[in-house]
Structure 1
Amino acid sequence: MEGIRTSMKAEAKAVKKLVDTVTLENIEKADKIEQSLLQTLNGQNQRIDDYINFLNDLLKQFYCYLSPTNIEQLKLSLKSENLIIRPIPEISKPVLPVFTAGHYNKEDFAKLLGRITVSNSEPENRKIKRMGNASAQLKPIGKQRNLPPSVTKVREYTVPGVDNVYHISLGKSGTLWVSDSSGNLVKTDLQGNQLKWIQTTDIRNEGYHTVTQGRDLIYTDKSYGVICKITPVNKVTKFIKTGEWEPTTIHSSHINGDILVGMINYKEAKVTRYNKTGTEIQNIQRDDKGKELYSEPHFITENTNGDVCISEYEIDAVVVVDKSGQHRFSYTGQGSGFTPNGICTDILGHILVCDEFSNTVHLLDQDGQFLSLLLTPQQGVDDPCSVCVDDENNIWVGQRYTNIVTVYKYLQ
Structure 2
Amino acid sequence: MTSTELNSLGFPKPPSETRVVVAMSGGVDSSVVAAQLAEEGYDVVGVTLQLYDHGAALAKKGACCAGIDIHDARRVSEEMGFPHYVLDYENIFQEAVIDEFADSYLAGATPVPCIRCNERVKFKDLLETAKDLNADCMATGHYIQRFSGDHGPELHSATDANRDQGYFLFSTTPEQLDFLRFPLGHLASKAETRALAARYDLAVADKPDSQDICFVPDGNYAGVIEKLRPGAAEPGDIVDTEGNVLGQHRGVLHYTVGQRRGLGIGGLDTPLYVVRLDVDKRQVIVGPKELLATRIIPVREINWLGDESFEAQKEYHISVKVRSTRPPREAIVRPLSATTAEVELLTPEEGVSPGQACVFYDPDSSRIFGGGWIWRGA
Q: TM-score, normalised by structure 2?
A: 0.24
Which structure dedicates a bigger proportion of its chain to helix? 2
Larger Rg: 1
Which structure dedicates a bigger proportion of its chain to strand? 1
- Say which structure, 1 or 2, has more relative contact order (CA 8 Å, 6+ apart): 2
